[in-house]
Structure 1
């Protein structure tokens, strides 16, 4: 089935629902914020991600998120943050909130204490109108000296039971506040010896099938709202970078072997792992061709703080859909999965705002 590009606007809206973009700015008056709000309202993107670089004064942050949650958008946007606790926490003492301990610290305590910790985290995010938390990390801590997972205390442990138990507490507490969670980093980042922010993490010689267990069990328990795929390569099991076409982490491992039919998102495509090899627009197209339903892009390059990320990436995906490089039925399936995921909190949102 070919995409009818006589209606390019409809195609642009369809791919727009599959893009979560970052921006530069800490205040509602900043040009980067004005731009991303316009992109949301124009249907060029379907959500935003708040990073450390966007957190200035609490009042400014609250006002920006309020404007996004009340935007004149056709669907409620993803308002996302990655707040795992520990070394990956954007909102803590810096703006007058409590800190959340790291996954490793939480796993050192009781489940009851974990529920309490994550109940507080979910309440904090909910009070700021976030509706998506890009966490928990369900990577096994199979290499404690791993610079991005083990050394930063981001894993609950090196066995699936521990990881699943504490990740469940995280997810359940967020669901109470209608906040979507995202399991990461499929197919498993815990054994890597490198950081995918700095380059491709090749886990060919270190990865083991045991790393799929937490994902498999949480999917089976109905606890996978969405799953984030990392920029991980394994020439034996899925090929090159998992978020790029030609690799089979998504279509074979996650869809077929683990029978997951929910939303699959990429880790930030602005990381060195993908951008060293490709132009931003090409990396986005390759991710959708690999099977991603949602792509995260926080900036187009390290130096560039002014470009319109949403518009650029939307344009690239729309062109690829119109030239049939991306199959229309794949796009429609992805957009439908995203709609279904958003519908989980749409009703709640309407009740809260009317």
Structure 2
């Protein structure tokens, strides 16, 4: 782990602790569900929210509230980051907490391999090499077998979604992707072959995957954790090729994740891809004809939070064509965020920024994969 990454992680822990302390002031209102909207639009907005939490055990107040909000239908999906990973027993306890109600949220985690593998041998999981090492040492068929084993392990624990694979081109100097070996190759055909092995392997165990980071993070020279990664001068059409190949295959991923990537030739307003209609709707939906779920990268990351607040980020992501909105809700912890999101969307509809049809269509795409995921988990 680099010194920069260690310092960034330490800073996040401190920010998370402070944010949690401040957010607890509104906790009783959120816990008892006061002022909670209960109509069709509110239910749809809840299905669009993929929310994180603070803590690594089922005793965490943040986790307990989020589980309660999921049972009420205020939040449709939950994601785990490294800050949520404790012992095997603590992880199992958290998963029981989130799966305890009649209305269960989708449960997501990053399980790429290499440095981005939250569940490790210490938790009883098969170690996965980084993507670059997989491509250098295994055939796609061998990789598929390994990923299928990892998928069975995730499914047995209770997860539904793996936020991978990476379809970015491999540029070793890239500070977020290349330096950690997270990309398979520079060759679009090879990238697509190994990404397909990843998707099919996990799918064989009932785990849904999200291909990332559209429209291509590989040649960025900055890290989107800190600010929007400007790929305007380095990105080429060739970076769409791996996505085009995988999306046109017989086993297209049910989700594509957009990155916080600025691409001025396509989106001259300078907005990152996660909140950009020319990129999400124009490139992904219209040009590549993708009809599945578009999931944003974390809207609380610096790339977005430095230029807009949560309200604008959520509204603009939906307006851009996104469906599943990832909000870590950690550094500026807000127990009432799901309720506020409903209000923000209502206001945007009243102002003509969004339409109710747009929101309902996004919710239906998410509900389709939810039905698929929960049916697979019940058959395990």
Q: Output the TM-score relative to the length of structure 1.
A: 0.91
Determine the C-alpha separation between the residues in 2 that align with 1:308 and 1:24: 15
Query: Which of 308-317 and 216-225 deviates more?
Result: 308-317
Partner of 1:333: 361
Q: Deviations over 1:246-278 (max 9, x none)?
A: x41011101111111111110111110000011
Partner secondary structure for residue 253 of structure 2? coil
Contact 2:135 2:185 in 1 (8 A): yes
Q: CA deviation at 1:48?
A: 0.0
Determine the C-alpha separation between the residues in 1 that align with 2:58 and 2:349: 33
Q: CA deviation at 1:306?
A: 6.1
Task: Evaluate the alpha carbon distance shift between residue 18 and residue 349 of structure 1 in structure 2; reply closer, same or farther with a 3 A threshold.
Answer: same
Q: Does 1:232 align with 2:261?
A: yes
Partner of 1:244: 275
Contact 1:18 1:334 in 2 (8 A): yes
Determine the C-alpha separation between the residues in 2 that align with 1:54 and 1:271: 17
Partner of 1:125: 154
Query: Which of 254-263 and 86-95 deviates more?
Result: 86-95
Q: What are the ranges of 5 or more consecutive residues in structure 2 without an aligned counterpart? A: 1-36
Q: CA deviation at 1:316?
A: 2.5
Contact 2:168 2:183 in 1 (8 A): yes
Determine the C-alpha separation between the residues in 2 that align with 1:250 and 1:284: 14
Determine the C-alpha separation between the residues in 2 that align with 1:70 and 1:318: 30
Partner of 1:63: 93
Which of the residues 152, 165, 186 maps onto 2:214?
A: 186
Partner secondary structure for residue 17 of structure 1? helix
Q: Does 1:270 align with 2:287?
A: no
Q: Deviations over 1:95-142 (max 9, x none)?
A: 34332110011011222431232122112211211010000001111x
Partner of 1:155: 183
Determine the C-alpha separation between the residues in 1 that align with 2:42 and 2:110: 27
Determine the C-alpha separation between the residues in 2 that align with 1:328 and 1:217: 33
Partner of 2:128: 100
Trace 1:301-340 onto structure 2 (pairs within 5 A).
Answer: 302=331, 304-305=332-333, 307-340=335-368
Number of equivalent positions: 340
Determine the C-alpha separation between the residues in 1 that align with 2:346 and 2:378: 30
Trace 1:134-145 onto structure 2 (pairs within 5 A).
Answer: 134-141=163-170, 143-145=171-173
Q: What are the ranges of 5 or more consecutive residues in structure 1 without an aligned counterpart? A: 1-6
Q: CA deviation at 1:166?
A: 0.7
Task: Evaluate the alpha carbon distance shift between residue 232 and residue 305 of structure 1 in structure 2; reply closer, same or farther with a 3 A threshold.
Answer: same
The structure with more helix, counted as a fraction of residues: 2
RMSD of aligned Cα (Å): 1.8
Q: Deviations over 1:265-300 (max 9, x none)?
A: 101111100000111122111111111011000025
Query: Which of 62-71 and 282-291 deviates more?
Result: 62-71
